[in-house]
Amino acid sequence: MKETENSEMKTVPAKLTKRIVLEMEDLIKQGWYANKSELIRNAIRELVKKQKVTRLESAIQEDIEWGLHGK
């Protein structure tokens, strides 16, 4: 997903372990990402997407339980 030209970028400070930074640099060297910022943005997008799916699945499961058992 590309950032739109009009999207406002914000800087967010974060502390990472040396091991994570080395792993990030390895992924960049392998050509998976252009830089650390791109990698971090992608990782956060994927986490947010995963959390949304998890919440939706949980809500669906609750609806099913309520429909089956009235609980």
Position 66 pLDDT exceeds 90 = no
22-65, pLDDT tens digit by residue?
Answer: 999 999 999 999 999 999 999 999 999 999 999 998 889 888 88
Q: Quick one: pLDDT at residue 5?
A: 54
| Helices within 1-71 (DSSP H only) | 18-29, 36-69
Q: Contact at 8 Å (CB) between 32 and 23?
A: no
Find the mean pLDDT for residues 1-6: 54
What pLDDT, on the 0 to 100 scale, is given for residue 69? 85
Q: What local confidence, expressed as pLDDT, does residue 7 receive?
A: 78
Q: Side chain identity at 53, as an amino acid letter?
A: V
Written as one letter, the residue type at 26 is D
